[in-house]
Amino acid sequence: MACNFLRRWFRGDESRYQNFLNSYDQFSMAVAPANVHNEDRSQLVSGSLTDRVNGHSGVFVGIYDGHGLEGATCSQFVLDNLFENFKNAMQNHDAVNPEVIQEAYHRTEVAFVDHVGHNWQNKPQLAVSGSCCLVGVVYNNVLYVANAGHSRAVLASWPDGGGWNDLEVIQLWVAGRGRAEVIAEHPPGTNLFIESAPGQWYIRGALQPTRTIGDVYLKYNEFNEAPLPDEYIQEEPIVPPILKAEPMIQTHQLSPDDRFVIFASHEFWDLIDNDQAVILVQGFPRNFWFLYFLVPVENYFLIWLEIRTKSGIPLPTRRSVRLKALGGDNQDIMTKATDRAQASPSLRNSVCC
């Protein structure tokens, strides 16, 4: 049904329809917003990672989870600037490495702080706008995962000829600074965290992640005063910053057994665990693309990126996936039995140099 709809959308132009399939058949994405104004943004770029002709090719994935008074402002700013800053840093280094990614985050943070400063008198609420930022880059057979916030990336891997029991689920999410690390960076007795529920600690009662883009009212004293609304002004000075924008970065050398990666914001992972997510993704036929991934639950972004490097493996031909919503009446949010997907072309051969 999805394929027929898209054919009608391309008005019978079979060549354009096939070009669309060839461009997007390795990637799927979905969003189910809980709010009228969605604060999250996402990004997927496959091809050149620089502005140079015949520049280095790869894949860039971004999950930008906005929050605060104008969360969409910060996440949109990251969407508009982070990849451009990555490309500029890539040209300076002529390669992908952790330093390139760190530089892209730093440039984006500095630019957003400048943006808040330029609008400080007219829109002080921008100081309370922030975004978690999860980035994945596939280049030269290496996967780089950078995380500022509490989004997560999960890799599914299994060998050719293996069965379901051979599935390995690898969490590539890198935890941000822990509470103890933040406390150690401040003078003894500094008011930093408030426990809103058992085990649920919030910075000054406002924010859980300790690494974000934006949220400058928790980073710089010049934005912790009027005209900022009184309810956001911190009584104690902010030296050094409670929050940091520098991401934690992890690298993974891709192998023929690596099949796909799931990138998603923390709201998605609040609903299901790593294993359930992998079962969900591997179970959907590729010819339906992302349509089956639209789950009407709390606000989240889900992108999954296939990195299959060989033919498919024998898995159960049909599998039922039942997901439970957390809390409340614990009702089902999705139940689906589906045939397993066919093998897809190698990402390495199609987009990586």
Q: Taking all residues of the chain, what is their mean pLDDT, rounded to a whole number?
A: 73
Enclosing domain of residue 45: 38-177+247-302
Residue 345's contacts (CB-CB under 8 Å, 6 or more residues apart) are 25, 26, 308
pLDDT of residue 242: 85
pLDDT of residue 86: 97
Average pLDDT for 332-349: 28
How many residues does the structure list for the chain? 353
The answer to whether residue 77 sits within a structural domain is: yes
Q: How far is 189 from 177, CA to CA, in rounded Å?
A: 19
The answer to whether residue 197 sits within a structural domain is: no
- For 130, 233, 283, 319, the CA distances from 28, given in Å and listed in that order, are 26, 41, 13, 20
The answer to whether residue 9 sits within a structural domain is: no
Q: pTM for the whole thing?
A: 0.76
The answer to whether residue 20 sits within a structural domain is: no
pLDDT of residue 71: 75
pLDDT of residue 108: 99
Average pLDDT for 322-336: 30
The answer to whether residue 257 sits within a structural domain is: yes
Domain count, the chain: 1
Residue 85's CATH number: 3.60.40.10
Tell me: the pLDDT tens digits for 234-255? 888 887 778 899 999 999 998 8
Q: 89 or 292: whose pLDDT is higher?
A: 89
Q: 181 or 36: whose pLDDT is higher?
A: 181
> For residue 279, what are its two tokens?
């079962």
- For 190, 216, 234, 258, 326, the CA distances from 187, given in Å and listed in that order, are 6, 20, 16, 45, 38
